[in-house]
Amino acid sequence: MNPYQTKSISQKTVLKKTVACFDVGSDNIDQQTVDSFGEEWLKFDEFSEEDIKTAGDQYFDIVNEEMLNQQSLALDLGCGSGRWTKYISNKAAFIEAVDPSKAVFQAAMHYNDLENVRFTQASVDTLPFKDNSFDFVMSLGVLHHIPDTAKALKSAMSKLKPGGYALIYLYYALDNRGGIYRLIFELSALLRNFISKMPGILKQLLCDFLAIIIYLPFIALAKITRRLFGKRLSKKIPLYYYTDKSWNIIRNDALDRFGTPLEQRYSKAEITAMMLNAGMENIQFSDHEPYWHLVAKKAE
| CATH code assigned at 82 | 3.40.50.150
Same domain, 214 and 290: no
Residue 1 inside a domain? The answer is no
pLDDT at 6 over 80: yes
> Is residue 109 situated within a structural domain?
yes
Domain assignment of residue 21, yes or no: yes
Question: Does residue 61 share a domain with residue 108?
Answer: yes
Same domain, 254 and 273: no
Q: How far apart are CA 90 and CA 99, in angstroms?
A: 21
Residue 41 and residue 84: Cα distance in Å, rounded? Answer: 13
Q: Are residues 59 and 121 in the same domain?
A: yes
In terms of residue numbers, what domain contains 42? Answer: 10-172+265-298
Element (H, E) at 98: strand 94-99
| Shared-domain flag, residues 199 and 133 | no
The number of beta carbons lying within 10 Å of the beta carbon of residue 257 is 22
Task: Give residue 41's pLDDT.
Answer: 65
Same domain assignment for residues 32 and 136: yes
Are 49 and 194 found together in one domain?
no
Is 2 part of any domain? no
- Biggest CA pair distance of the chain: 60
Residues 131, 238: one domain?
A: no
Look at the chain and report how many structural domains it folds into.
2
Q: Is residue 3 part of a domain?
A: no
Same-domain status, 107 and 89:
yes
Residue 117 lies in a domain: yes
Q: Give pTM, 2 decimals.
A: 0.92
Residue 5 belongs to a domain = no
* Same domain? 187 vs 92: no
Percent of the chain with pLDDT over 70: 99
Least confident of 25-34, 158-167, 250-259, 269-278: 25-34
- Please state, as a whole number, how many other Cβ atoms lie within 10 Å of the Cβ of residue 282: 11
CB under 8 Å to 123, separation ≥6 — which residues? 24, 25, 26, 29, 34, 100
Give me the DSSP letters along 68-87: S-TT-EEEEET-TTSHHHHH
Angle between helix 179-195 and helix 247-259 axes, rounded to 10 deg: 80
Residue 35 has pLDDT above 80, yes or no: no
Give CA–CA dist 263/253, Å, rounded: 13
Is the same domain home to 148 and 219? no
Q: Which DSSP category does 229 fall into?
A: H
**Same structural domain for residues 275 and 127?**
yes
Average pLDDT for 213-238: 93
pLDDT (0 to 100) of residue 32: 82
Structural domain includes residue 126? yes
> What is the DSSP code (8-state) at residue 214?
I
